[in-house]
Amino acid sequence: MGCLRMLALVGLLFCSAVLYGQDVGQICLLAYADWDENGARDRDEPALNQGIGADLLNAQGITIASRLLVDSPFATNGLLCFDELAAGDYRLRLTSAAYAATTNISESATVVVGEPPPRIDIGVLPLFEDSRAQAHSADQPDGARVSLLLAAGALATALLLAVATFALLATNSTRPFRPRPTMRRVRRSE
């Protein structure tokens, strides 16, 4: 009987965890450099990974959260997400001191539990020349990282060649590898 109670308790906890996990959703923002100002992201228009913030407003227009892209765990992909949201209507509003929107500065989205999160894309242009350079290089790796990757690739290639050479020499040898016996001199006592 105790085993059945334990099994029922585990089942109840599991079901409540599953139901709780399905009661929340998220909304994500992707800000991109809209170089041609057409309001649509083209292949050569990179997603930004800094200099962008967003406010999340509820259906009544009240700001319920604010975040910065640079603090987002998905910043390298250009995504700023608000998570653990109840199902319903929300509005994301772009905030930035370095960029001006080329599309609407805010967009509405609906969180539907169990469906992929809505993503709002907002095109921006830099207000200052420094921001323009950052936007151009947002999707380009920096020089130090490229150098490190090239060095790691060269090292891996050298190791692979060394292992292949050793394996080739070991398989082509007609006699097995045996260490040479060493001769020891024995001192004679006088």
Do residues 155 and 86 share a domain? no
Distance CA 85, CA 63 (A): 13
Give the confidence band of 5 by pLDDT, cuts at 50, 70, 90: very low
Number of folded domains that form the chain: 2
Same-domain check for residues 149 and 87: no
Strand pairing partners for 56? 65, 92
Quick one: 50 and 124 in the same domain?
yes
pLDDT higher for 34 or 187? 34
Residue where a domain terminates, one of 136, 157, 179: 136
Domain that holds residue 163: 142-170
* Separation between Cα atoms, residue 72 and residue 51, nearest integer Å: 12
Q: What pLDDT is attached to residue 129?
A: 72
Do 150 and 61 have their domain in common? no
| CATH of residue 40 | 2.60.40.10
Q: 1-5, 113-117, 128-132: which range is least confident on average? A: 1-5
User: Does some domain include residue 149?
Assistant: yes
**Average pLDDT in the chain:** 75
> Residues 123, 47: one domain?
yes
DSSP H or E run through 82? strand 79-85
* 142 vs 131, more confident: 131
Residues 121 and 43 in one domain: yes
Q: How confident is the model at residue 112 (pLDDT cuts 50, 70, 90)?
A: very high
Between 179 and 113, where is the model more confident? 113
**DSSP, res 40:** S
Instruction: Please indicate, yes or no, whether residues 81 and 165 belong to a single structural domain of this protein.
Output: no
CA distance 155 to 162: 11
Per the confidence metrics, is the pTM higher than 0.75? no
What pLDDT, on the 0 to 100 scale, is given for residue 142?
A: 45
Percent of the chain residues past pLDDT 70, beyond the cut? 56
Least confident interval from 8-17, 111-120, 134-143, 166-175? 8-17
Together in a domain, 69 and 124: yes
Determine the pLDDT at residue 30: 94
Residues 105 and 153 grouped into a single domain: no
Please check whether residue 128 lies inside any domain of the structure.
yes
28 and 98 in a common domain? yes
pLDDT digits (tens, 9 = 90+) for 68-111: 999 999 998 899 999 999 999 999 999 999 999 998 888 999 99
Residue whose tokens read 């500065």:
105
Amino acid at site 61: G
Question: Are residue 97 and residue 113 in the same domain, yes or no?
Answer: yes
Confidence bin at 51 (pLDDT 50/70/90): very high
Total number of residues shown for the chain: 190
Per DSSP, 47 falls in state B
Question: 104 lies in a domain?
Answer: yes
My answer on whether 158 and 87 are in the same domain is no
